[in-house]
């Protein structure tokens, strides 16, 4: 007589079933946190945005494109012989910028246009040489005698064209709160770097309005930010009692910090000698306005603004001493990014 096998389905009591469900959710959350940690670790360390950039060469050298070996900065002779101008792509008060070609690579050649501003041009070159890092456009060569600078070319151009770029079909996938917040993090990282640079505390003076700020930075093809224009970068030295003034003209508008504006009203005409100098906290005042531009009006951007409300309010303190440091702002931005990614990844049952 054949024996029939009977499979018995175990019925879990409601309380035991609930415990199992919670345990599974807990495991899912732990896995998501582990994945989040790995992602952010990659973002901050392995993506080329780490404190040490493996693509950088020793001082005085560069490498371009897929080339593995570092080449010395091009000299006057090499620039004159090997670099070919293609077309003018921009002109400012200090210099004219040409899209050029060097050994089948597109590069940027900048030349002084106003001899009265040669000190500004040479200061920009000095800063560019001294501050080479993952935050600064790559220097390829220069010729002081001819007031010429050669730098890496970035086809997406300055940050002024960010919104237009994000509407191009190829880049529409980048137009998210997540990617936009990462751009804001890049921007604050650069400010932090300038305030703690190898040369000391530097102030980004070419920043009297939003459009001017955006023109100082480049958008890379992998959607990161580099500072490009370092012509107006004075040094704060508190131990020596040295503060700065951004130019010798009156600055107006809510974009510039209160301490940069004429404090004596309309009755007394502006006099540069009566203006008190200030420090790097002028850069902190401007962070919320620049970040607001980065965040745009995509889905989720208002939630990001809500999380950044307190730190942005602190940036707008009238007393510069009460504003946070760039490092504190950067830490907050990173925490908000981590929090929002975690919330986006978390199962709905846990929210």
Looking at the fold, whether 132 and 270 belong to one and the same domain comes out as no
pLDDT band at residue 10 using 50, 70 and 90 as cut-offs: low
Cβ–Cβ under 8 Å, residues 168 and 160: no
pLDDT in the model for residue 56? 77
Say if 247 falls within a structural domain: yes
Rounded distance between C-alpha atoms, residue 149 and residue 160, angstroms: 22
Q: What is the mean pLDDT of the chain?
A: 88
Backbone phi and psi for residue 205, each to the nearest 5 degrees, phi listed first: -80, -25
Average pLDDT, integer, range 126-146: 96
Kindly report, residue by residue over 190-219, the tens digit of the pLDDT.
999 999 999 999 999 999 999 999 999 999
Angstrom CA distances, 110 to 65, 210, 232, stand at 20, 23, 16
Domain count, the chain: 2
Q: Where a domain ends, among 109, 132, 153?
A: 153
Q: Is the pLDDT of residue 252 over 90?
A: yes
Same domain, residue pair 126 and 160: no
Whether 294 shows a pLDDT value over 50: the answer reads yes
Q: Are residues 265 and 118 in the same domain?
A: no
Does some domain include residue 351?
no
Tell me: do 230 and 189 sit in the same domain. yes
Q: Which residues have CB under 8 Å from 195's CB, separation 6+?
A: 201, 202, 280, 283, 325, 326
CA–CA dist 66, 235 (Å, integer): 36
Quick one: 84 and 225 in the same domain?
no
Of 245, 236, 233, 297, nearest to 271 by C-alpha is 245
Per-residue confidence (pLDDT) for residue 14, from 0 to 100: 60
**Whole-number Å distance between alpha carbons of 310 and 313:** 5
Residue 47: pLDDT over 50: no
For 262-292, the pLDDT digits (tens) are 999 888 999 999 999 999 999 999 999 999 9
Provide the residue range defining the domain that includes 286. 154-344
- 99 and 175 both lie in a single domain: no
Give residue 48's pLDDT: 38
Share of the chain above pLDDT 90, in %: 74
Tokens of 16: 């035991």
Q: How is the chain split among helix, strand and coil, in percent rounded to 5? A: 45, 15, 40
Pick the range with the lowest mean pLDDT from 64-78, 214-228, 275-289, 296-310: 64-78
User: Is residue 49 predicted with pLDDT exceeding 60?
Assistant: no
Give φ, ψ of 73 to 5 degrees. Answer: -50, 140
């Amino acid at each position: 007589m054949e024996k029939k096998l009977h499979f018995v389905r175990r019925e879990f009591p409601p309380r035991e079933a609930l415990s199992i469900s919670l345990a599974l959710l807990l495991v899912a959350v732990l896995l998501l946190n582990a994945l989040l940690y790995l992602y952010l670790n990659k973002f901050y360390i392995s993506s080329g945005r780490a404190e040490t950039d493996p693509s950088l060469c020793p001082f005085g050298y560069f490498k371009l494109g897929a080339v593995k070996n570092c080449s010395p900065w091009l000299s006057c002779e090499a620039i004159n012989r090997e670099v070919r101008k293609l077309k003018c792509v921009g002109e400012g008060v200090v210099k004219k910028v040409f899209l050029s070609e060097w050994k089948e690579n597109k590069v940027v050649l900048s030349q002084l246009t106003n001899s009265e501003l040669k000190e500004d041009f040479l200061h920009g070159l000095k800063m560019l040489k001294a501050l080479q890092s993952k935050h600064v456009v790559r220097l390829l060569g220069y010729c002081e005698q001819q007031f010429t600078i050669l730098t890496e070319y970035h086809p997406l151009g300055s940050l002024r064209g960010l919104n237009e770029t994000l509407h191009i079909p190829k880049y529409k996938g980048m137009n998210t709160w997540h990617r936009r917040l990462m751009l804001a993090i890049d921007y604050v990282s650069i400010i932090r770097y300038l305030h703690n640079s190898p040369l000391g505390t530097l102030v980004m003076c070419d920043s009297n309005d939003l459009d001017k700020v955006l023109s100082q930075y480049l958008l890379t093809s992998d959607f990161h930010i580099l500072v490009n224009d370092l012509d107006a970068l004075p040094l704060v030295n508190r131990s020596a009692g040295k503060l700065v003034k951004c130019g010798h003209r009156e600055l107006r508008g809510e974009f510039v910090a209160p301490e940069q504006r004429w404090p004596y009203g309309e009755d007394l005409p502006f006099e540069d000698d009566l203006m008190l100098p200030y420090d790097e906290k002028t850069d902190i005042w401007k962070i919320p306005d620049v970040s607001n531009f980065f965040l745009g009006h995509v889905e989720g951007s208002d939630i990001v603004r809500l999380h950044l409300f307190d730190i942005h309010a602190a940036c707008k303190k009238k007393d510069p001493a009460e504003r946070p440091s760039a490092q504190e702002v950067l830490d907050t931005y990173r925490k908000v990014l981590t929090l929002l990614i975690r919330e986006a990844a978390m199962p709905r049952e846990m929210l």
